[in-house]
Chains A and B, each alone.
Chain A
Amino acid sequence: SQQGEEDPQALSIQEGENATMNCSYKTSINNLQWYRQNSGRGLVHLILIRSNEREKHSGRLRVTLDTSKKSSSLLITASRAADTASYFCATLLLNFGNEKLTFGTGTRLTIIP
């Protein structure tokens, strides 16, 4: 079953604009991760934020996490055509030596040159 729901399902913006994607989840987590998937390829890890962190930056990426609302957002600034891909949030839960990384439904981002 999917833990996360992402919003919007699809997003089209002009190159140079900022893109914001949101993720909501249902249970407690140890960390939340964002991945990118280009068409026909595997997933690429972008950024990880721990449950005790509220914001994290990596290059043009900014991730926020609100554990009280069980939600996260991914902001891509100054978008480029190469950012066109599907973006997935994934929540990690550690439980008595077992772990589960559960993926959301994904946001399909299209950057218009």
Chain B
Amino acid sequence: DAGVIQSPRHEVTEMGQEVTLRCKPISGHDYLFWYRQTMMRGLELLIYFNNNVPIDDSGMPEDRFSAKMPNASFSTLKIQPSEPRDSAVYFCASSLQSGIGERWGYTFGSGTRLTVV
């Protein structure tokens, strides 16, 4: 199992440009999560999907952020237009639901380090 795969690993872009981050969850996992990690705010949940449907996007900071999951094996997080304060490490994670309805531990990807200059 290759785990959760994120691309690119690093992204440097100029302010105002569109940025697209990609994630391939573990096959069979029915939940997918996008987190952002910064020194100031730690790890923040941005949005999560259940069976490709967005369930909670209350953590998405602004309308400049959007996420999609067109199928069970692929998700994108898009920032348009990007700003320097969006610089962070963005993580994707996936998980299974346990038999009693609770979530097993999440499996995280290696992250995308985004720098907006």
Contacts and interface: CB of A to CB of B under 8 A. Distances in A.
B102 A101 contact: no
A92 B103 contact: yes
A71 B63 CA distance: 36
A41 B43 CA distance: 13
Q: What size tier do the contact residues of chain A reach?
A: 20 to 34
B108 A100 contact: no
Contact of B101 (A46, A94, A101): A94
Given A42-B4, A48-B104, A106-B42, 4 more contacts: A41-B110, A41-B111, A42-B110, A102-B45
Interface of A: 2, 30-31, 33, 35, 41-46, 48, 50, 88, 92, 94, 97-106
Contact of A45 (B56, B91, B107): B107
Contacts, number: 56
- Enumerate the 7 nearest inter-chain pairs by beta-carbon distance, A residue then B residue, closest first: A45-B105, A42-B108, A103-B43, A43-B108, A42-B110, A2-B42, A42-B111
11 contacts: A35-B108, A41-B111, A42-B109, A42-B110, A43-B106, A45-B107, A46-B105, A88-B43, A97-B55, A98-B55, A99-B103
Contacts of A105: 42
A94 B111 contact: no
B11 to A, nearest CB: 15
B91 A43 contact: yes
A103 B102 contact: no
Nearest to A104: B42
Contacts of B111: 41-42
A106 B39 CA distance: 11
Contacts of B41: 2
A101 B103 contact: yes
Interface in B51-109: 55-56, 91, 93, 101-109
A44 to B, nearest CB: 7
Contacts of B43: 2, 43, 88, 103
Given A98-B56, A101-B45, A44 B102 contact: no
A44 B4 CA distance: 11
